[in-house]
Structure 1
Amino acid sequence: MQRPDRWISLADEALFAIDRRMAMLERMAILAIFLLGIGNFAMHKAVLESGHPLIGQVPWFVHMMGGRITLLFEFLVLLAALLLAANGWPGLAWGYLAYSALNGLAAWLILTRRV
């Protein structure tokens, strides 16, 4: 019969293997969210500089600081996604991917003047 100390040691080894896989998953999620965030900022800036008539129809507070208030909001969304992914929510990368896809669709519609 094995001693209880050996059982604890075996349990610790199993947990460490899972921890290493989760740490890798979290790092990959953070990298994916960061790269998607760069794309979101690029699309957002392109839309702001497009001169599309829809940009003129947004509320007055959006025009403060030349529309940079919307970039601040974009940054806060990115920061929240990165912080959540770094603190044990790596699945949030899928949600941020969906958000980025919707941003991409909206940017494409605006930049190609389909709306």
Structure 2
Amino acid sequence: MVLALLFALGVANFAVHKAVLESEHPMLDVLPGLFRRGGGRMSLLFEFVVLLSAMIMTENGWPGAAVLYAFYSLFNLVAGWLVLDERI
């Protein structure tokens, strides 16, 4: 059940991440070129690695990884909302 929740949070993170990348917000200009090239593929790969790591650690008996990923997701979703709503 926890893995399904992590997966759902991961889908939400990917959706917000991609929306922020496509928003062309001026803040994105300060990102290193590696993360901006190819439509942000490297930053999406990083997002995948974080999700996969959290899922593997949770499955191997580290429930704290799920809690940390939930906080990470909350932060991402709030930050994405602030960028997409042009509050920052």
- The two structures share one fold, judged by TM-score above 0.5: yes
Letter in 2 for 1:96: Y
Question: Which contiguous aligned blocks of 4+ residues in structure 1 show a shift greater than 4 angstroms?
Answer: none
CA displacement at 1:70 relative to structure 2: 0.2
What secondary structure is seen at the aligned counterpart in 1 of 2:87?
A: coil
- 1:59 counterpart residue number: 32
Question: Does the alignment pair 1:39 with 2:12?
Answer: yes
Letter in 2 for 1:40: N
Can you give the 5+ residue segments of structure 1 that lack an aligned partner in the other structure? 1-27
- 1:94 counterpart residue number: 67
Letter in 1 for 2:59: A
Can you give the 5+ residue segments of structure 2 that lack an aligned partner in the other structure? none
Q: Percent identity?
A: 50
- 2:56 counterpart residue number: 83
Report if aligned partners of 1:43, 1:104 keep a CA contact under 8 Å in 2: yes
Distance 1:46 1:80 in 2: 23
Report if aligned partners of 1:29, 1:93 keep a CA contact under 8 Å in 2: yes
The within-5 A match list for 1:69-80 is 69-80=42-53
CA displacement at 1:64 relative to structure 2: 2.1
Letter in 1 for 2:78: L
Larger radius of gyration: 1
